[in-house]
Amino acid sequence: MPENWILPRIFPIGGILFDFLFVLIAIPIEAYLLHYRLKFDKKTSTFYAISINLFSSVIGWSIFFVSEPILPLQVRTELINYMFFNNFKSPNTQGLLILTAFIIFFSTFLMKFFILKVLLLSLNEQFAKKEEEAEAPISQRRRWRTFGNLKFQSNNLIITVLIANSLSYSAITLILLFSAK
């Protein structure tokens, strides 16, 4: 198996360009939803949308290039056939394609959520101020209220990322359907 761990000599430039187009489509959709639902300003929501989409795209392509040599020969043949010629050889590939699409959708959703959560925690100036204020004694009632607000914000973040990911994937699916005809 170690001989399979080499970089490919031919890169799927068409697939990478389509991915770049998809990122350019997903960024404004997700930035608008981050602005509208999470009440970020437009510059901040655009920054977060660009960051989560580029990071998830780089992670996705890295996973693709690592997992491609490990795949069975028939799946690799179908994958390469689709990447370079935009069609499938075997009619049995549709079920595998649907399963792969669901896996990619939910893994991208989880990646985007965790990347956004890390960005929010690492780039938020209010987070450092809250740690300084935590040294002062806080009443039990206020702690429960803060915990409830954090839980609500976390749920709102999950729902917003799920809606944004769903809308961007829907737009990408429409473009794929139009390009297939």
What pLDDT is attached to residue 171? 92
The one-character DSSP state at 1 is -
Instruction: Find the length of the chain.
Output: 181
Interval 65-88: pLDDT, tens: 888 888 888 888 888 777 777 777
Please spell the DSSP secondary structure of 43-98, one letter per residue.
Answer: HHHHHHHHHHHHHHHHHHHHHHHHHGGGS-HHHHHHHHHHHHHSS-S-TTHHHHHH
Report the alpha-carbon distance of residue 99 to residue 139 in Å, rounded.
50
Enclosing domain of residue 175? 2-124+143-180
Contact between 119 and 49 (Cβ < 8 Å): no
| The model's pTM | 0.74
Q: Is 18 helix (H, G, I), strand (E, B) or coil?
A: helix
- Residue 165 and residue 157: Cα distance in Å, rounded? 12
Let me know if residue 132 belongs to a domain.
no
In a domain, 135, yes or no: no
Contacts of 146 (CB under 8 A, 6+ apart): 138
14 phi and psi, to 5 degrees? -60, -45
Q: Is the residue at 129 inside a domain?
A: no
Domain contains 53 = yes
Instruction: Specify if 35 maps to a domain.
Output: yes
> Rounded CA gap, 145 and 126, in Å?
17
The backbone region for 39, taken as left when phi is positive above 0, alpha when psi lies in -120 to 50, beta otherwise, is left
Helix, strand, or coil here: 86?
A: coil
pLDDT tens for each residue of the chain, 181 residues long: 455 556 556 667 777 788 899 999 999 999 999 999 988 899 999 999 999 999 999 998 888 888 888 888 888 888 877 777 777 777 777 788 788 889 999 999 999 999 998 888 887 745 434 444 544 455 655 555 555 544 445 678 889 999 999 999 999 889 888 877 6
Q: How many domains are contained in the chain?
A: 1
**DSSP code at position 92:** T
Q: Residue 167 corresponds to which tokens in the numbers above?
A: 């809308």
What local confidence, expressed as pLDDT, does residue 130 receive? 47
